Amino acid sequence: MPEEFVVTPWEVRGQIDYDRLITEFGTERITSELLERLQRDAGELHPMLRRGIVYSHRDLNWILDEYEKGHPFALYTGRGPSSGIHVGHMLPWFFTKWLQERFRATLYFQITDDEKYLFRDFEELGEATKVGYENVLDIIAMGFDPKRTKIFLDTEYIHHLYPIAVEAAKRITFSTTQAVFGFENANNIGEIFYTSLQAAPAFLPSVDAGREIPVLIPCGIDQDPHFRIARDVAPRLGYPKPALIHNKLLPSLLGPGGKMSASVPESGIFTTDSLALAKRKVLNAFTGGRATVEEQRRLGANPYICSIFANYEFIFEPDDGHLAEVERTCKSGERLCGDCKLELWGKVESFLRRHQEARERAKARIEKFILRD
Ligand code: SF4
């Protein structure tokens, strides 16, 4: 990995070169031909596809081959419940919801409370489970179809997951996990075993159906290493390799060189932030603006390093025409950062109000979604 940036499942740092990540990780770019095919099969393209935010994949052509032959695929995604949810976490979930709707796919949503305990985010396992249930409220609030969505916590669905994880674990060597995750002697043995449990839901749809079901995993590109092991082990277990579709990462509100992070609360908007706090974060965010109004009017600003523009582009402005107008007026100097932030805040505010209401209602709907043994 080049020194100037780092992208791993645990750490994202520096100015990310997404093209180089495709080469480093050995994934494939989503080409214009593949976009046309997605458009044909889905009937439309999600803005994240049109804008190249969802930009990389593994075996997506195969998923569409199967789909076009009448073999539906399942979706698998997950959440490591280390903290509350910020909008950066939700980025792949917005896209997953679109995939579920357009392809009528069943979604398996794994909550890895065991992982977050094993990897030392919590002193007590019960704490991880509790945060897991808080995160489940956000997932339900996003509007996934209860008839096609199965959410489970590892500690509560282990009878189903464990036999698959054991089959996977028998075929994964310690040296493989060392090579992929950099484990050392000081790592606890739960951490080393854990990857087999993360692989299990990729095969669960096939186990449930008693036949091969293709699985597509939408995730941030930083999560790709987790699923390389699942893909390696799949043929030896008699299952198809899960396919992946990767999104870029929502930049931090604090500026270039990182993604939104739960460990830095000011870096992102959390779903449980008060409106006043969220507004303060937007108004204090890093921009590509000039030092003075006069300079900005004269020289224009730079949307490509601006966290406010990234939020318009990644999530809050679905209209391509208006996004282009924001970009143009930013560069020409017609738009000033204060106004631009307030306009974005209007969009964030209505999203947060809606989401927080839906999150409240989700408390009474958990049992419609949760699987337990
Ligand atoms: S005008 Fe808007 S998009 Fe341009 S730099 Fe300022 S905040 Fe960012």
* Residue among 61, 330, 111, 332 nearest 216 (CA): 61
C-alpha 271 to ligand 1 mean position (Å): 24
**Ligand 1 pocket, 285 CB below 6 A?**
no
Please indicate, yes or no, whether residues 160 and 272 belong to a single structural domain of this protein: no
Instruction: Give me the CATH number covering residue 172.
Output: 3.40.50.620
Q: Distance between CA atoms of 33 and 64, rounded to whole angstroms? A: 12
pLDDT at 89: 93
**Ligand 1 pocket, 310 CB below 6 A?**
no
ipTM topping 0.90: yes
pLDDT at 2: 44
Please indicate, yes or no, whether residues 145 and 92 belong to a single structural domain of this protein: yes
pLDDT at 9: 77
Sequential DSSP letters for 2-37: -TTEEE-SS-EEE---HHHHHHHHT-EE--HHHHHH
Please indicate, yes or no, whether residues 228 and 312 belong to a single structural domain of this protein: no
**Ligand 1 pocket, 253 CB below 6 A?**
no
Q: Consecutive 10-residue runs of the chain (373 residues): their mean pLDDT?
A: 70 86 95 98 98 98 98 96 93 97 98 93 92 98 98 98 97 92 91 94 96 96 90 95 96 78 82 97 97 96 96 97 98 98 98 98 97 95
Instruction: Give me the CATH number covering residue 284.
Output: 1.10.240.10
Pairing of strands 12-14, 215-220: unpaired
**Ligand 1 pocket, 308 CB below 6 A?**
yes
SS3 state at 111? strand
Tokens encoding 79: 């959440």
Number of domains in the chain: 2
Please indicate, yes or no, whether residues 156 and 40 belong to a single structural domain of this protein: yes
Last residue in a domain, options 184, 217, 249: 249
- N-terminal to C-terminal alpha carbon distance within the chain: 41
Please indicate, yes or no, whether residues 234 and 286 belong to a single structural domain of this protein: no
pLDDT at 266: 84
Domain limits at 72? 5-249
Last residue in a domain, options 249, 276, 306: 249
pLDDT at 259: 63
